[in-house]
Amino acid sequence: MWLSRYCASATLAIRVQWARLTVRHTHGRLQEKGGTRGQPGPLETVSIAARVVCSAVLVRGQAVTRKSTTGRRRAVDRKQSSRKRNPVKKQKRVHQSVSPDVSRAIGSLFRAAREAQQLSQDQVAAMTSGKRSPVSRTTVSSVERGVHLPGADVLVSLARVLNVEPVEVFERIELEMTQPVDLTGRTRENLFSEAEEFFWAGDYRRALATYDALLQHLVLDPPADERERARLHARIEINRATALHRCCALSASRAAAERAISIATDFPHLQAEAYVVLCGVLYRAGLLPFASDAADHAVRLSENESPKTQGWAWIVKGDVLYMTQHFEEATQAFTKARGFVKKARDEKHLIQVEGNLGACWLELRKRGQARKAFTKAVELARKHTMPAAEAFWLVELGLMSLDDGQLDKADSYGEAALRIAKPTAQLLTIFRAEWLRHRVVMARSPKSADARRMAYLRKLYPQIKEHRGLRVVQEYEKAVVDRGGQGGPDE
């Protein structure tokens, strides 16, 4: 191979040198004779010489390339033949896309905010025209239908125009449902009934998904009467706010309750219910002055309404008084609420009233009455198949047993609450039960690290930390977060 390359290079050198001599000789003769007719001129001579040089280069290229690429061609042929013998299956590229349920959740959120302000999609698009990232009407429609997932620029523009907190959007993404509700052949009454069953069974996420479906159903099939449409919209928003509250999405719950208040201007009883939900969100977040104001609005609006609505209003009034450590006044408010809910035969809220009275008596050092009230709340919850309420008050019984030094009993109460709360992801109850069991471990062995449970509590804390008004969250923050130990908010 080396010999053939050498010969090709030598041939090229000889032909190039011959071309140079030919050009020089021809140019000299033309200068001597001045050129003759029929003989090529200087430019023609140079062109001939150039062609000679190019032909030499081509010859060299063909000779060298033919010899030098032979090995490479053989390698390629071997590779192709091996591929034919052992075919490699083409791997499909997997594109990680966002779940369509996330897009639907965000779309329903923005649609609810737009309809609460009685704006059309064209008006929303026009309001974003002056923003940094204008949004077209087509994009607004695509976002609301869940077809298009908005980017950060579109999200910010729509959030500013529709007064939606970005935190609310993130909370809705975290509450994404894996099984969306199918509206085919479903009536509005059927959906309301199904959502209520999910809610009182403690499956708050499925209840929330059903309420989102109800909102979509209202858009697709609105009543002919505008007043009826507003009533249904307010009712759905109140129920959504309640479900969001139980899912620990306090920002989204607050926004939904405020939308319900703005929609239900012609319905005092619905406004009272919306203020009840809003009050619960505010006092759980530790915003007691605002919670007190919301409770006062609820009591005032419910004065001429049904006993059921009045009972709910007095429950949140008692909650605020309890949180502000006015335990005697809170007991009176809960006693008044118990009279209303009994009159309305509202057994579900009677469970809450009995438990709240137990909490007041516990603070007033009436431990016997407190235990009876907690036990009654648990029994009523079991009777009416309300596992979420049962698990909640089981934790309170466990805390009482812990204070009495009955560690085994306290641990069994916490374990029973966890068995009920974990299947339906009741985060707040799970956190309370796990903290109870951690305190039991520390009471038995103060030097125990209880590392696995503390790691689980650290994982849960970011999702329930907005409930700063609750005693158990305050205890955790004082014992763990404020000391700079494990479980801090930045970990």
Give the count of alpha carbons within 13 A of 162, CB side only: 35
Helix (H, G, I), strand (E, B) or coil at 264: coil
Name the DSSP class of 478: I
Residue 487: which residues within 8 A CB-CB, separation 6 or more? 454, 457, 458, 461, 476, 480, 481
Most confident of 107-111, 198-202, 294-298, 346-350: 294-298
- CA pair distance 172, 108, nearest whole angstrom: 10
Nearest CA to 296 out of 270, 262, 320 is that of: 320
**pLDDT confidence bin for 434, thresholds 50/70/90:** very high
Helix (H, G, I), strand (E, B) or coil at 265: coil
Residue 101: which residues within 8 A CB-CB, separation 6 or more? 176, 177, 178, 180
When mean pLDDT is compared across 57-66, 78-87, 100-109, 345-354, the lowest value belongs to 57-66
Residue 156 is predicted with a pLDDT of 81
Residue 440: which residues within 8 A CB-CB, separation 6 or more? 402, 407, 410, 411, 414
- 72 membership: H or E segment, kind and range: helix 70-85
Average pLDDT value for the chain: 79
- CA pair distance 302, 308, nearest whole angstrom: 9
- Residue 484 token pair: 């700079």
- CA pair distance 255, 168, nearest whole angstrom: 8
**pLDDT confidence bin for 87, thresholds 50/70/90:** low
Residue matched to tokens 């140019």: 27
Angle between helices 100-116 and 166-174 (to 10 degrees): 140
pLDDT in tens, 218-275: 877 888 998 999 999 999 999 999 998 888 788 888 988 998 999 999 999 999 999 9
- Note the pTM of the prediction, 2 decimals: 0.66
- CA pair distance 150, 414, nearest whole angstrom: 43
**Contact of 243 with 175, CB cutoff 8 Å:** no
pLDDT in tens, 357-414: 999 999 999 999 999 999 999 999 999 888 889 999 999 999 999 999 999 999 999 9
pLDDT of 133 strictly over 70: yes
Percent of the chain topping pLDDT 90: 36
- Residue 70 token pair: 């032979």
Cβ burial of 52 (10 Å; 0-12, 13-18, 19+) is middle
- CA pair distance 415, 322, nearest whole angstrom: 27
- Three-state secondary structure of 267-297: CHHHHHHHHHHHHHHHHHCCCHHHHHHHHHH
pLDDT in tens, 190-228: 999 999 988 888 888 888 888 888 887 887 788 899 899
Helix (H, G, I), strand (E, B) or coil at 12: helix
Residue 50 is predicted with a pLDDT of 46
CB atoms within 10 A of CB 272: 24
- CA pair distance 401, 44, nearest whole angstrom: 114
Nearest CA to 196 out of 184, 207, 209 is that of: 207
Nearest CA to 27 out of 44, 52, 13 is that of: 44
- CA pair distance 308, 108, nearest whole angstrom: 30
- CA pair distance 199, 361, nearest whole angstrom: 29
**Mean pLDDT value of segment 100-116:** 74
Name the DSSP class of 423: G
| DSSP string covering 357-393 | HHHHHHHTT-HHHHHHHHHHHHHHHHHTT-HHHHHHH
Residue 130: which residues within 8 A CB-CB, separation 6 or more? none
Give the count of alpha carbons within 13 A of 342, CB side only: 8
Nearest CA to 283 out of 239, 323, 256 is that of: 323
Residue 11 is predicted with a pLDDT of 52
Nearest CA to 477 out of 286, 329, 341, 212 is that of: 286
Q: What is the dihedral of CA 294, 296, 300, 303, to 10 degrees?
A: 100
Residue 52 is predicted with a pLDDT of 45
Residue 153 is predicted with a pLDDT of 80
Residue 292 is predicted with a pLDDT of 94
Most confident of 121-135, 300-314, 462-476: 300-314
pLDDT in tens, 276-310: 999 999 988 888 899 999 999 999 999 999 999 99
CATH of 100-174, one of 1.10.357.10, 3.40.50.620, 1.10.260.40, 2.30.30.280: 1.10.260.40
**pLDDT confidence bin for 13, thresholds 50/70/90:** low
How far apart, in Å, do the first and last CA atoms of the chain sit? 68
**pLDDT confidence bin for 88, thresholds 50/70/90:** very low
Cβ burial of 119 (10 Å; 0-12, 13-18, 19+) is middle
CB atoms within 10 A of CB 283: 24
- Spans of all domains in the chain: 100-174
**Contact of 386 with 426, CB cutoff 8 Å:** no
Cβ burial of 5 (10 Å; 0-12, 13-18, 19+) is middle
Give the count of alpha carbons within 13 A of 68, CB side only: 9
Residue 474 is predicted with a pLDDT of 84
- Residue 79 token pair: 């590779």
Residue 46 is predicted with a pLDDT of 43
- CA pair distance 208, 343, nearest whole angstrom: 29
